[in-house]
Structure 1
Amino acid sequence: MLARLLLRRTTGLSWRLNPPARLVGQQHRTFSSINNHLAFRNSTVLKNQKKDDSEVNDDKKKAEKPTKPEESTEVDPDTQKKDKKKDMGDEEKDIREEIKKRLQKKNPNINLNNIKVYQFDQKSIARFFIGTSVLTILLTMYMLTKNKEKNELSFQDFKINYLEKGLVTRLTVINKFAVQAELIRGAVSDQTFQTAGGTPAVVFTIGSVEFFEEEMKLSQDKLGIPIEERLPISYEERGSWLNYIIPILPTVLLIGGLWYMTMRRAGQAGGGAGGAGGPGGIFKIGKSKAKLFNQETEVKIKFKDVAGCEESKEEIMEFVKFLQDPKKYEKLGAKIPRGAILSGPPGTGKTLLAKATAGEAGVPFLSVSGSEFVEMFVGVGASRVRDLFKTAREMAPAIIFVDEIDAIGKERGNGKMGGNDERENTLNQLLVEMDGFEGSDHVVVLAGTNRPDILDKALLRPGRFDRHISIDTPDVEGRKQIFKVHLSKLTLTADEEIKASQKDLDFSKYQELKAEAIENLAGRLSALTPGFAGADIANCCNEGALIAAREDATSVDIYHFEQAIERVVAGLEKKSRILSPEEKKTVAYHEAGHAICGWFLEFADPLVKVSIIPRGQGALGYAQYLPKDQYLVSQEQFRHRMIMTLGGRVSEELHFDTVTSGASDDFKKITQMAQQMVLKLGMSDKVGHIYYDSGDDGSGFKVHNNYSQTTAKLIDDEVKRLIDDAYDACHTLLTEKLELVDKVAEELFKKEVLTREDMIRLVGPRPFPERNDAFDKYIKGKDAFKGKPKD
């Protein structure tokens, strides 16, 4: 209360928002700008007054003198106080209006009905706290040294100087650590003092009451004092409340100061745009940590920056359009969907799509992660959910985005997931807020997850998350559009070549040629990156720019992007990992076997590159193919892939006396393919057209097989038969092409890297037409992954 009174009486200006206030984070900038505005206004008024006074002529002054008698220089104190209060009221009103304009400009949805203006001076506050601290220290030092000012003496001196001389009349043990000995009248020395009754006395400290009583008994026995004449001992508890308060006062003040600073910082952090909860709550622990984005927030990502998922963008934009113009839909009787789940593999652009929605929504957008609801305190998650929806309803129409909602939305009552009452309470509160008794009109909830299969069924039902938007990995055309977005931000060699070749080119023609160059480059790169998600493509473009910068290049070339693709797919080259000549030769024949099998099998994927340079993921060599984007795989395609995968081991058997462990990963792949064909795809005549579980429920937990031991043996026999058939076909093929295997292996041993053009030169054109349209359009006839161009 004392601090508040001092704040009101000192000079200066500040302002405080009476709830809710979500822009406290802008307080200091607004405060300083208002002070500058007031200072500029006052200085302008003074200048204008001086200018007007100098321009008034003497005749006018003389004419005004008869009509306006000269006023007395003495001013009535009451009138002066009234004028001062009036000026202060006008000034406070101007400041309030100025603050409203500035804050509404920052956030049009803020409530500024109550603005209070306080006066304070930071120097005065600092002097107050410094003075209080100094006074506390002085009081503490006084209390700690007060007992020393009293004339104390040791117990041994007391026995020699007073007890043995018979000067003591009474002993009083005070607070179990000090003894006051009353003396006979006239026994005055430098160590005595007068009690309240005028009796001289001395004081000394003792270790313990038991020790004091024992020593007194021995001393009086030694002096031969009879028991009935021995000194009486009484016990008292003395001291005022100050004796207990003052020693702990510094600690209390320190803790109070830390508490005040923590609460103040928490209030500032929670009331700004980063904390949607506003002031209140112990350390704001129960307040939502959602970040607020609106039309005033600088969000650089727009829908034009999101490519490869046009259908998903249309779905999201429908929510935005409904909130921006609800009457268009309501007049037809339509109701706004409550929410949508964005699901898909990692890196496909779920969060990026949400960021673009925040950048173009035009309505308040609250973003929060699912893990931010989970804390060590019980009940915090549910409290934050309530506060999040309360804030969104106050800002309605608004959008809430919960990233990684599976952190709190896992299925309840599932023993395999483990029990977690706190997480379930948070989920229950989310269910109630989304579709409970209290409506959430004009508040849309978007959520992103990689695992929609583990979410609670009550969360996915219509009325909560009405729509499920699936964002899959892009096809070749989607990858091309994503590459165009990222390539437009880089300095490309093709762009530099256009500028160098045609110096007098007008801007429109230059833009046309640049767009055509980016189109071709994006198409080529999209064909070289099958299965890449949006995040992989962004990483690939960034890696290409980093490789170009590492080589001190002035622009990014196709070579740099190909190096980046290889790094993403196979890892970094391990040039320091030196293979012995025997190992290098074994790896060369192994990879040559893969390459020859893929070259002469009709349904194998087109070969782009084969290398025996060790890579970071443990591969001593690898062959790179370009599978096309397809959603159905035939039985013959499975068979040819298995034959090509076995080519490495068969080549080792044909050219060496022993085999190595290099084919372990190949065996894993063909076993998985054969099991899929038998168990789930019905590609076995003996097992039949039946779907069998593979023993994995998809969540990492093994389950019992849903078939008998007899069926299990039949399945094992069929899997082995498929693999044996593929092995025999591979052995036959490589035996026929043995000379070509030797030729390719020897060339690979020398050069370490062979491209598609090298394969055509060594073994001739592939006898089958390519079945990959993107390959035919962007790669065929052009060498890929050929290495660094020569200067």
Structure 2
Amino acid sequence: MLSRLSSTASRYTVRSTTGLRRTLLQKRLYTEKKPEENVPKGFEGFFGKSNKQKPATEKPKPTNNANSNKPNDQQKPPEMPNNMNLILGTTVGTYFLYKAVAPSDNARELTWQSFRTQLLDKGLVERLEVLNRNRVRVHLRNDANSLGVSPATSFYFSIGSVEAFERSLDEAQKELGIPSNERLPVAYHDEISIGQTVLHFAPTLLIIGVIYYMTKKGPGGAGGGIFGVGKSKAKMFNQENQVSVKFKDVAGADEAKLEIMEFVNFLKNPQIYEKLGATIPKGAILSGPPGTGKTLLAKATAGEAGVPFYSVSGSEFVEMFVGVGPSRVRDLFATAKKNSPCIIFVDEIDAIGKARGKGGQMGGNDERESTLNQLLVEMDGFDSNQHVVVLAGTNRPDVLDPALMRPGRFDRHISIDRPDIGGRADIIRVHLKPIKTKVDTEQLARKLAALTPGFSGADLHNICNEAALIAARHLKEEVEEKDFEDAIERVIAGLEKKSRVLSPEEKKTVAYHEAGHAVAGWYLEHADPLLKVSVIPRGSAALGYAQYLPKDQYLYSKKQLLDRMCMTLGGRVSEQIFFDSITTGAQDDLQKVTKIAYAQVTTYGMNDKVGPLSFSDPSGEQQFQKPFSEQTGTLIDNEARTLITDAYARTLTLLTEKKGDIEKVAQLLLEKEVLTREDMENLLGRRPFVEHTVYDEYVRRPATQSEEAPPDFPKANDDGTVQ
């Protein structure tokens, strides 16, 4: 019995008040081996760093950080955007979640065999703890540090079942000869990991987060999320949030400004009108071609009005959800009534205001019609609003629903057309203010207005901007007058194609083609005055062009249309005279001539055989059936062909007589590439009739010309026939 106790004591400490503190075996291990040599084989990484001392001669390695001496306050971290903060927060959260789930750095996993041979047999184990019936945590003795093992380091190993673990532990301790009263204590605990619990609920938390995002910042917008999808997206402008555009910044639309100003005056001082029994019109619709300033005029109204101004686009009422459009209309008018008097501006109202019943039976059309019905009710229903004016802008007033255009809803129909020459000059003066130039702006505005007939306000702004870009491209200090002329050429004819090199034959053909246009227009009384002719390729397909100066004209006679057709055919006829074959360069000219001929027959009623009939559709909608019979269609084709044939014969007679003039112009074109009006006058003399151009009338005094000049070319009669 004594020998058994001594062999047991050689491995374990006898836990009694008078027992030995150390076994002989442990004393031998402590005295004969160094601490670092007692580390079990294969557990060097588990037991931490070695306690070996570095030699005294070894010097510490110098640091290579060049900025180590700089203070920290000199290096400011860059500011991160919101998305970077979100990414950083997600990364940090993921890291802490991983740290919560993953085992700590001091915990090392073992197998049962490693635990038995390296810890249990060495007498380093103090107690065992079974966690969640599948893992055993090993607690070391406090004096294990003497063997090079830190007591803070914990080991664990997995078990299949508690019964098998207990049976294996009993068998191991029996083999070691440990009495029952000295065996290792085993405790059983159940632990709940916060990280694992969060992972279990991660899908649920993700769904909750998505729902929260949709309710707060989802597709509804404006902070309302999915529950705010029916809220109006109109932007409000008031005294604190005013726009900088005023009526003085709007030029070329004086009549429209007067009518819009009436709405502003009524909303500011309604008593002046109400005491006379007048009521303000419910709304006004601004219609006109694109770029004429409809939205700009609405901005000026917002800037001038001292009342709240709500701006919304017509497309913002239409969503993929059913009932969203009417809901937004109701919300918009409810908000407007609370802040009355006020103005509502709906831009591009044709997105929801198209005539009902002309679409298919698709859901999108039904939703659009429901939105339109709600708008009609809000503007003039049983619950009529007061002191709420609705302004709308569109460039397609012909497609709007008649119920929307009737008095009581949109009472005023304000048409904003392209400006005349005076309006263009006013618009150019506004756009020349930020341009740095030494040219007289008054004279420049008048000249540019004369050179840009039919241009809208957006086109004129584009010309001023292009002139500044051209000057900057050539590194100029200021914008010169030539830069504005080049900008007009670029807008009309396109960018100059310097990389497109024409062969000598092609360049000669283009020169005679453009010379034919110029000479034909020079000797035709009702043709537009020639301004410039060029053989420099521009745009995508133009190998040359002739620039004319048409005047602001709204009515055209039959003689004027015939002269235009002859001038357009001048290039094709010139090719026929000077070359044996014709080219494809006259395609665009033939399309224009064909369009003019068919317009005379089918639209303007200028043909004797067809009669005073017009088959044009003012709405411009596609028709599956022609509004005339097959016999009438054949007659229309024959008459249009006759008109073009007569114009071609007349042009051929004219240019055959003026063949020498075409030769002069073509040769000079090949030499200079660009001819101006002055060059044409030096070559051909003045035009053989009294001429008053817009340029002469608005920019300079008209030159003295002979009142009458005998025509020496075929002339058109009043009925359009050729003498």
TM over 0.5: yes
Structure 1 match to 2:478? 555
- 1:718-765 CA-to-partner distances (Å, cap 9, x unmatched) read 111111110111000000000000010010011110000000111111
Measured in 2, the distance between the counterparts of 1:131 and 1:745 equals 77
Measured in 2, the distance between the counterparts of 1:439 and 1:597 equals 63
2:422 counterpart of 1:477: yes
Measured in 2, the distance between the counterparts of 1:660 and 1:359 equals 57
Indicate conservation of the 8 Å contact 1:571/1:616, yes or no: yes
Q: Structure 1 residues 141, 149: closer, same or farther in 2, change over 3 A?
A: farther
Q: Structure 1 residues 627, 137: closer, same or farther in 2, change over 3 A?
A: same
Q: 2:661 aligns with which of 719, 740, 758?
A: 740
2:95 counterpart of 1:150: no
Q: Structure 1 residues 580, 130: closer, same or farther in 2, change over 3 A?
A: closer
Say which is worse superposed, 585-594 or 375-384, in terms of deviation: 375-384
Q: 1:488 aligns with which of 430, 433, 439?
A: 433
Indicate conservation of the 8 Å contact 1:597/1:730, yes or no: yes
Measured in 2, the distance between the counterparts of 1:482 and 1:132 equals 59
Measured in 2, the distance between the counterparts of 1:186 and 1:525 equals 105
Q: 1:660 aligns with which of 552, 559, 583?
A: 583
Measured in 1, the distance between the counterparts of 2:171 and 2:230 equals 65
Q: Which has the larger radius of gyration?
A: 2
TM-score in terms of structure 2 length: 0.70
Q: Structure 1 residues 690, 186: closer, same or farther in 2, change over 3 A?
A: closer
Q: Structure 1 residues 139, 642: closer, same or farther in 2, change over 3 A?
A: same
Structure 2 match to 1:395? 339
Q: 2:391 aligns with which of 438, 443, 446?
A: 446
- 1:112-146 CA-to-partner distances (Å, cap 9, x unmatched) read xxxxxxxxxxxxxxxxx99999998788679xx99
Structure 2 match to 1:288? 232
User: Share of identical aligned residues, percent?
Assistant: 59
Deviation at 1:150, TM superposition (A): 1.7
Deviation at 1:252, TM superposition (A): 3.5
Measured in 2, the distance between the counterparts of 1:665 and 1:298 equals 49
- The residue matched to 1:493 in structure 2 has which SS? coil
Deviation at 1:284, TM superposition (A): 2.6
Aligned CA RMSD, in angstroms, stands at 3.6
Deviation at 1:308, TM superposition (A): 0.5
Structure 2 match to 1:318? 262
Q: 2:380 aligns with which of 435, 445, 456?
A: 435
Q: Structure 1 residues 605, 130: closer, same or farther in 2, change over 3 A?
A: closer
- The residue matched to 1:415 in structure 2 has which SS? coil
Say which is worse superposed, 520-529 or 386-395, in terms of deviation: 386-395
Indicate conservation of the 8 Å contact 2:692/2:702, yes or no: no
The code of the aligned residue for 1:468 comes to H
Measured in 2, the distance between the counterparts of 1:547 and 1:647 equals 33
Q: Structure 1 residues 557, 653: closer, same or farther in 2, change over 3 A?
A: same
Measured in 2, the distance between the counterparts of 1:327 and 1:179 equals 92
Deviation at 1:356, TM superposition (A): 0.7
The code of the aligned residue for 1:465 comes to F
Indicate conservation of the 8 Å contact 1:524/1:779, yes or no: no
2:310 counterpart of 1:366: yes
Deviation at 1:452, TM superposition (A): 0.8
TM-score in terms of structure 1 length: 0.65
Alignment of 1:527-538 (within 5 A): 527-538=450-461
Structure 2: tracts of 5 or more residues without a match: 1-89, 104-108, 110-128, 137-158, 173-191, 704-723
* Length, aligned pairs only: 554
Q: 1:751 aligns with which of 660, 672, 680?
A: 672
Structure 1 match to 2:185? none
- 1:495-535 CA-to-partner distances (Å, cap 9, x unmatched) read xxxxxxxxxxxxxxxxxxxxxx3222111110000110000
Structure 2 match to 1:581? 504
Measured in 1, the distance between the counterparts of 2:130 and 2:572 equals 94
Indicate conservation of the 8 Å contact 1:137/1:250, yes or no: no
- The residue matched to 1:321 in structure 2 has which SS? helix
- The residue matched to 1:410 in structure 2 has which SS? coil
Greater share of residues in helix: 1
Q: Structure 1 residues 691, 135: closer, same or farther in 2, change over 3 A?
A: closer
Deviation at 1:181, TM superposition (A): 10
Deviation at 1:610, TM superposition (A): 0.3
Indicate conservation of the 8 Å contact 1:591/1:612, yes or no: yes
Structure 2 match to 1:624? 547
Deviation at 1:682, TM superposition (A): 1.5
Deviation at 1:543, TM superposition (A): 0.7
Structure 2 match to 1:93? none
- 1:603-640 CA-to-partner distances (Å, cap 9, x unmatched) read 11110000011111411111011111011100000000
Q: Structure 1 residues 646, 180: closer, same or farther in 2, change over 3 A?
A: same
- The residue matched to 1:420 in structure 2 has which SS? helix
Deviation at 1:243, TM superposition (A): 13
Structure 2 match to 1:348? 292
Alignment of 1:752-771 (within 5 A): 752-771=673-692
Q: 1:570 aligns with which of 469, 493, 518?
A: 493
Deviation at 1:703, TM superposition (A): 3.3
Alignment of 1:303-314 (within 5 A): 303-314=247-258
Measured in 2, the distance between the counterparts of 1:642 and 1:288 equals 53
2:445 counterpart of 1:522: yes
Structure 1 match to 2:64? none
Indicate conservation of the 8 Å contact 2:285/2:414, yes or no: yes
Q: Structure 1 residues 137, 746: closer, same or farther in 2, change over 3 A?
A: closer
Q: Structure 1 residues 584, 428: closer, same or farther in 2, change over 3 A?
A: same
Measured in 1, the distance between the counterparts of 2:695 and 2:258 equals 27
- 1:364-403 CA-to-partner distances (Å, cap 9, x unmatched) read 1111111112222222222222221121111111111111
Deviation at 1:261, TM superposition (A): 6.2
Measured in 1, the distance between the counterparts of 2:273 and 2:471 equals 52
Measured in 2, the distance between the counterparts of 1:417 and 1:489 equals 52
- The residue matched to 2:201 in structure 1 has which SS? helix
Deviation at 1:459, TM superposition (A): 1.4
2:579 counterpart of 1:596: no
Structure 1: tracts of 5 or more residues without a match: 1-128, 154-177, 192-239, 495-516, 783-791
Measured in 2, the distance between the counterparts of 1:548 and 1:576 equals 21
Indicate conservation of the 8 Å contact 2:602/2:615, yes or no: yes
The code of the aligned residue for 1:250 comes to A
The code of the aligned residue for 1:150 comes to R
Indicate conservation of the 8 Å contact 1:293/1:358, yes or no: yes
2:354 counterpart of 1:410: yes
Say which is worse superposed, 588-597 or 293-302, in terms of deviation: 293-302
The code of the aligned residue for 2:608 comes to D
